[in-house]
Amino acid sequence: MLKILPLNKKVKKQVQKYDLENKFKKQISFLKSNPTHPSLNVELLEPKQHGIYSFRIDRKYRALFIYRPDEEAIEILSVTIHYR
């Protein structure tokens, strides 16, 4: 099972601002237990060498994250509107 590193203030504010607390918690639980869960729709973003991934919170919002293999952990970087 993957570890999720503590959220920074920016991410916490974004989750609250977009009123995504419950959806975010649900998706995080999927991410911890099964990163390939279909509802997450995990994608490696371009340019791929940066190693930034995204997962779906809902149809409108996605979270950006990086995988830290040395800690076997995921760090959430940001919550964004998917279609801009």
CATH of the domain at 57: 3.30.2310.20
pLDDT attached to residue 83: 73
Alpha carbon distance 24, 81 (integer Å): 14
Residue numbers of the chain with a pLDDT score lower than 70 = 84
Q: How many domains does the chain have?
A: 1
Q: What percent of the chain has pLDDT over 70?
A: 99
The domain of 15 spans 3-81
CB-based burial, 12-51: b 16+ in 10 Å, e otherwise: eebbeebebeeebeebbebbeeeeeeeebebeeeeeeeee
pLDDT attached to residue 84: 58
pLDDT attached to residue 82: 82
pLDDT attached to residue 81: 93
